Structure 1
């Protein structure tokens, strides 16, 4: 069997539980729109019209090689650039000083180092999209089985909804701060949510079209913000007297580093979703490098900008931050430009839409990945449900943005760490060309009896959770090692525990089951 066997051939016969015959399997991969129209009977004509207008019918089904697009992989770097050159990345840089009292120099060093680690991990996952033609969550079935995929999908749904919630809160609050008293933050949150929903409802192609160009406007606005901040006066030594020393400083760096790592790896569970239509022959190294730089350069730039804005010591700027957090500080930085500055602030507030689109789109896919009963419901309906969920959550939690952001990103880095480790070990050790399994039999992606039992992946994930709990250091709970170190080391222990346990467990699983 070749390293990546199992690509669809029109002559082969397959049987998948829950589908009527081999023709249904062919149709759901090759023409999902026709299957959905037939499946929903009286609603079929309405769905057919939606698909005719360009709404994407394909969900988590594998994309046959003869339906892959010949789009240049270079488009991926533009997409990630748009997704991450956005206003809602700035508050992460702000946390370095506001929460962890790090000096500007230590903030930058932490962002660059932990960011590189997170970008490498996410870029690896992105390479699996063209290789398999599958969405990220479905790929986990080859390491953790059908049940394991369901567990990861639940975690990813919570992840993407959590990201989306923080995004709409920041965007909505910023819009309401432009002319205080004219636009309630609730209305601003709904505006951001609706604008994020539209391209995701339509689907893959519109997502890529929007993300291909959105970065041009937002990068220009970021450069304006950077320049005006410099005019206000950056003082890179401003936080130095407030910074901890010795062991406490190391703890602050580790805790903030975990947040930065989570910011990067938060994209890992969706990284393959947006390039699974690239030809299978696309060089993995090209996909890796384009994804790496598409993440690393913009995220580092914007987070460092956020840290730099916190070094402005002018009393008016300090008061603006205390009164309106990141949105208030940004408005103050842009205030010398008057109405044009307000226009730039509007564009920055709307830039979060580019960041929220992947969250919304992939949340719908993860809902489908929960299992066949969920997969038969059209993707765009799940996207609509995701929109409702995070918009309601944003409205309810709009007064606690900083707390939600800090705690959420800490927890996020923990589970994505062991998720990445398990997928990587499966790919490089057990699925390598001359490895125990010799590659991926891609025809088996929706056949539980031919997928791994999942015991190894699930147990290794449980050990990862145990490592995260032991190393946790948060307001609600501090683990024994987290207390001993005095810092959040959850993601490091989660990755280590899973890495050590998955290898022997998976080897034993293969020996006993042969899959």
Structure 2
């Protein structure tokens, strides 16, 4: 992977928000620790905050991590984290959608999962490489392509994205808990229990997130193997969907639309990918970060989604009835029923597996709130995790009966904005910030100085063109764009993320060249 210069004025480190507000043009030789900054800002809560920080709660938010404060950790944690995040219950229903909504046969479903998951993993892995190089969270990195205003727009989109992921996680986890002993635990209670379980690691912060995710995958990978074996014992009918699968143009529509959902399930991690390795040393090889992230995403996501697709090929009446009555959670309960009490214990583990998926959602959503601007960044990160927890738990309770619709529509729309976000960040990095490019690198000390960042006109305009591409190419239940309609049959083919990426990819270099020429930044 091509290297890009990341420059920082010699002897300087990132300033605190207070110093930048008072002296935006000056630089400091030392940076106050995040703990001290927050304690000074909220002195009336000093004793409480001191105990929180002493117990391991992370004080640092979106502030840049200076090179001398990086941690030399095993890079394999990067792979294990993504493995844990995706070897979970919430990944299974994506594979289920192949037959539930798109009537694809298993071979077509598997081929679609492999192709679109690989594309999404490449995009997310690229973003992950920027973490060690910059020491910045993902949303803050967007300031170097889309300016302060553009970063705010992306942060709002990312907050909604992580909330969407969290809502689907707590609903599915709650459904599964409720299915262990039907009628004994209300679905509302299941949603709240799963939400509470997700709060603790992300409240504590970066190190706790990595520590939890380092080990969570072990049990869950074995559980997925149990599901695969029990499903096979019940009987997979590989051609079960053959009589219902579309043909010709309609089949292409189904594959493209399902592919957009798969892409969204993987590329949906790109807006947070740098958040979890920004403390690695700046000289960490990009190729290692890219490779570990790619396989940490691709292997578990494809495996678990294929397991979900396989379970939908079981044609026995009791299994189809269980799915009709209880959705994915009901189907899993039926698959595990031969093990009786042991099967219920597996369901319990599956229900709480969504915590591994929900922790980065909550953690990064809190960071995205801080990225909205200095007033938000002054509020400690751990406070925003409480706000996010409350938001997705309430939304999960309200939408608990509409899981499949939420998942299908949410992941499709998610793929639209992440597509043009990735393209804009990548083009800024490889075209304008490369050695010998118009800007020649990043001055990382400018991360919170609006007067030194790009105005963001180019990034915002290119994003608008990306939205236009998504609109004309999308195919949702509630709207079908003109190109999406022509590309498919009666219900269209979803080309939203492909056209969003193309429209932004073509326009951004032109707009950015003009912006640099007339503003110099």
TM-score range, shorter chain: over 0.9
- The yes-or-no answer on 1:224 pairing with 2:230 is no
- Shift in alpha-carbon separation, 1:224–1:506, aligned structure 2, 3 A: same
Match of 1:389 in 2: 391
Match of 1:465 in 2: 467
- Shift in alpha-carbon separation, 1:127–1:502, aligned structure 2, 3 A: same
Q: What is the CA-CA distance between 1:338 and the residue it aligns to?
A: 0.5
Secondary structure of 1:19's counterpart equals helix
- The yes-or-no answer on 1:168 pairing with 2:174 is no
In structure 2, what is the Cα distance between the partners aligned to 1:459 and 1:267? Answer: 24
Q: Could you tell me the TM-score, scaled by structure 1's length?
A: 0.97
In structure 1, what is the Cα distance between the partners aligned to 2:25 and 2:520? Answer: 28
Match of 1:334 in 2: 336
Q: How big is each residue's C-alpha offset from its partner over 1:3-45, in whole Å with a ceiling of 9 and x where there is no partner?
A: 1101673589999875345899759955011011001121222
Match of 2:519 in 1: 513
Match of 1:318 in 2: 320
Q: What is the CA-CA distance between 1:129 and the residue it aligns to?
A: 0.2
Secondary structure of 2:238's counterpart equals coil
Secondary structure of 2:130's counterpart equals helix
Match of 1:494 in 2: 500
Secondary structure of 1:474's counterpart equals coil
The answer (yes or no) to whether the contact 1:13–1:22 under 8 Å persists in 2 is: no
Match of 1:347 in 2: 349
Match of 2:453 in 1: 451
- Shift in alpha-carbon separation, 1:13–1:93, aligned structure 2, 3 A: closer
Match of 1:504 in 2: 510
- Shift in alpha-carbon separation, 1:96–1:11, aligned structure 2, 3 A: closer
In structure 2, what is the Cα distance between the partners aligned to 1:12 and 1:262? Answer: 34
Match of 1:400 in 2: 402
Aligned residues: 514
The answer (yes or no) to whether the contact 2:470–2:496 under 8 Å persists in 1 is: yes
In structure 2, what is the Cα distance between the partners aligned to 1:324 and 1:31? Answer: 50
Secondary structure of 1:405's counterpart equals helix
- Shift in alpha-carbon separation, 1:47–1:114, aligned structure 2, 3 A: same
| Aligned partner (choices 70, 73, 76) of residue 74 of structure 1 | 76
Match of 2:52 in 1: 50
In structure 2, what is the Cα distance between the partners aligned to 1:394 and 1:13? Answer: 39
Match of 1:362 in 2: 364
* Correspondences of 1:154-233 after superposition (within 5 Å): 154-233=156-235
Secondary structure of 2:252's counterpart equals helix
In structure 1, what is the Cα distance between the partners aligned to 2:271 and 2:16? Answer: 28
The answer (yes or no) to whether the contact 1:200–1:207 under 8 Å persists in 2 is: yes
Q: How big is each residue's C-alpha offset from its partner over 1:414-469, in whole Å with a ceiling of 9 and x where there is no partner?
A: 00000000000000010001111010000000000000010000000000000001
- Shift in alpha-carbon separation, 1:430–1:312, aligned structure 2, 3 A: same
Match of 2:101 in 1: 99
Match of 2:41 in 1: 39
In structure 2, what is the Cα distance between the partners aligned to 1:12 and 1:354? Answer: 32
The answer (yes or no) to whether the contact 1:15–1:22 under 8 Å persists in 2 is: no
The answer (yes or no) to whether the contact 1:14–1:22 under 8 Å persists in 2 is: no
The answer (yes or no) to whether the contact 1:107–1:307 under 8 Å persists in 2 is: yes
- Shift in alpha-carbon separation, 1:112–1:452, aligned structure 2, 3 A: same
Q: CA RMSD in A?
A: 1.8
Gaps spanning 5+ residues in structure 1: where?
Answer: none
- Shift in alpha-carbon separation, 1:439–1:24, aligned structure 2, 3 A: closer
In structure 2, what is the Cα distance between the partners aligned to 1:152 and 1:231? Answer: 46
Q: How big is each residue's C-alpha offset from its partner over 1:244-275, in whole Å with a ceiling of 9 and x where there is no partner?
A: 00000000000000000000011000000000
Secondary structure of 2:478's counterpart equals coil
In structure 2, what is the Cα distance between the partners aligned to 1:358 and 1:125? Answer: 16
In structure 2, what is the Cα distance between the partners aligned to 1:437 and 1:14? Answer: 26
The answer (yes or no) to whether the contact 1:142–1:445 under 8 Å persists in 2 is: yes
Q: How big is each residue's C-alpha offset from its partner over 1:364-410, in whole Å with a ceiling of 9 and x where there is no partner?
A: 00000000000000000001100000000000000000000000000
In structure 2, what is the Cα distance between the partners aligned to 1:209 and 1:327? Answer: 28
In structure 2, what is the Cα distance between the partners aligned to 1:145 and 1:457? Answer: 8
- Shift in alpha-carbon separation, 1:340–1:67, aligned structure 2, 3 A: same
Q: Could you tell me the TM-score, scaled by structure 2's length?
A: 0.96
In structure 1, what is the Cα distance between the partners aligned to 2:237 and 2:49? Answer: 58
Q: What is the CA-CA distance between 1:105 and the residue it aligns to?
A: 0.3
Q: What is the CA-CA distance between 1:53 and the residue it aligns to?
A: 1.2
In structure 1, what is the Cα distance between the partners aligned to 2:240 and 2:338? Answer: 22
Q: What is the CA-CA distance between 1:326 and the residue it aligns to?
A: 0.5
Instruction: Detail structure 1 runs of 4+ shifted over 6 Å in the superposition.
Output: 11-17, 22-25
Q: What is the CA-CA distance between 1:73 and the residue it aligns to?
A: 1.1
Deviates more, 1:427-436 or 1:37-46: 37-46
The answer (yes or no) to whether the contact 2:13–2:445 under 8 Å persists in 1 is: no
The answer (yes or no) to whether the contact 1:132–1:280 under 8 Å persists in 2 is: yes
In structure 2, what is the Cα distance between the partners aligned to 1:329 and 1:9? Answer: 60
| Aligned partner (choices 250, 253, 263) of residue 251 of structure 1 | 253
